[in-house]
Amino acid sequence: MEAVPFDRLGPEHLDAWHALRNANPLLDSPYFHPGFAAAVHTSGRAVQVYCERSATGAIASLFPVVREGSLLRPVGWPGADFQGPILAPGAAYPVTKLLTGGATALEFDHLLPLAGEFEEWTATTRESPFVDTTGGMDGYLARASKSGRDNMGQARRRTAKAEREIGPVKFEADVVDEAALAEVIRLKRAQYAATGARDYFAEPDRERLLRALLHTRGTDFAGILSTVYAGDRLLAAHFGIRSGPVLHWWFPVYDPAHSALAPGWILLRELVMAAPQLGFTRIDLGRGDDEYKRRAKTGETFVGQGLVTRSNTRLAVRRAREQLVAAAKASPLGPHLRKVVRRLRSR
């Protein structure tokens, strides 16, 4: 297993990356596109790509990671909502071979079931919901739950209410606007502070990452910023990433002053309606038990949380923490323990 700095990858590596990804439907998320790893690397967090070769010398798999001391984490941590190696469907992955050159552990928290070798290292799995947007709003309504259909209907009525009470509603699906992105980050940081969640943007390279992605254009991989205004007021916005027909719902925000309008639903409704023109057939909502995700989803996949390590003590501590989180979530006091859960996950 060879670790190659991202900026030293050659055409052979990138060609293999694209070929393996295109051949594996589980890898269609933009998190698995080399453009995401490139943006993370250029934002200031060094990315290494572990490359495995077959007996014939061909590249059989690639796994982009970041390293902190002896600990490896998937590229984009802690903001990568899908993680795993780039490899052919059903291929085996020699995961313990990553623990070389001083690396003693690989931690993951959104691992897709790409290779069975990770199962013994996976402590828990959680739902990661998605919205099938094939056919736009008509297609969505045919697949959605009653709750999803009801909320979309309410969003339509609340859009009309915003028009009457605030001003004309304007939706922009894909804008390159530094000021709007700065407002997304400001609102998101305020949300983190209010909920007790760890501030993702406390590390300055995270803002650089979003700005770099904002200016990454193209249908194969791009950042995408969507906004909804009523008059001159920003009701809601979302910054995510896309690759081909998949949009990943990453940083949604809304103005708390207009929370009664459920602006997030207004924005999601606009995106679903615009999906055919934008070329999206799926919006991945990311792991989480948020109520709107449960209501909006048309399906879900599952992602794993765990640790690959040769240290039994370290593995036991990690699994105990995951079990504590799961117990807190299952408790009747779960809603009151949410801040505790978030702090445990961020450690």
Q: What percent of the chain has pLDDT over 90?
A: 87
Residue 310 pLDDT class (50, 70, 90 cuts): confident
pLDDT of residue 332: 65
Burial of 213: CB neighbours in 10 Å, binned 0-12, 13-18, 19+: buried
pLDDT of residue 272: 97
DSSP 83: B
- Cα–Cα distance for residue pair 296/112, rounded to 1 Å: 21
pLDDT of residue 168: 97
Above 70 in pLDDT, residue 336? no
Q: Which two tokens stand for residue 285?
A: 């909502």
Residue 289 pLDDT class (50, 70, 90 cuts): confident
The pLDDT tens digits of the residues spanning 105-155 come to 999 999 999 999 999 999 999 999 999 999 999 999 999 999 999 999 999
- Cα–Cα distance for residue pair 322/308, rounded to 1 Å: 14
- Mean pLDDT rounded to a whole number for the chain: 92
Above 70 in pLDDT, residue 274? yes
Q: Enumerate the β-bridge partners of residue 301.
A: 128
pLDDT of residue 69: 94
- Cα–Cα distance for residue pair 127/218, rounded to 1 Å: 30
Answer yes or no: are the C-beta atoms of 263 and 255 closer than 8 Å: yes
The pLDDT tens digits of the residues spanning 11-63 come to 999 999 999 999 999 999 999 999 999 999 999 999 999 999 999 999 999 99
Q: Find, among 63, 94, 74, 50, the residue nearest to 305 by Cα.
A: 74
The pLDDT tens digits of the residues spanning 178-205 come to 999 999 999 999 999 999 999 999 999 9
* Integer CA distances (angstroms), 50 to 29, 70, 99, 103, 245, in order: 20, 15, 11, 12, 27
Strand residues in the chain grouped as ranges (E) = 2-5, 47-53, 59-68, 71-74, 86-87, 105-111, 122-132, 169-172, 222-230, 233-243, 246-254, 282-284, 299-309
- Cα–Cα distance for residue pair 334/320, rounded to 1 Å: 18
- Cα–Cα distance for residue pair 88/22, rounded to 1 Å: 9
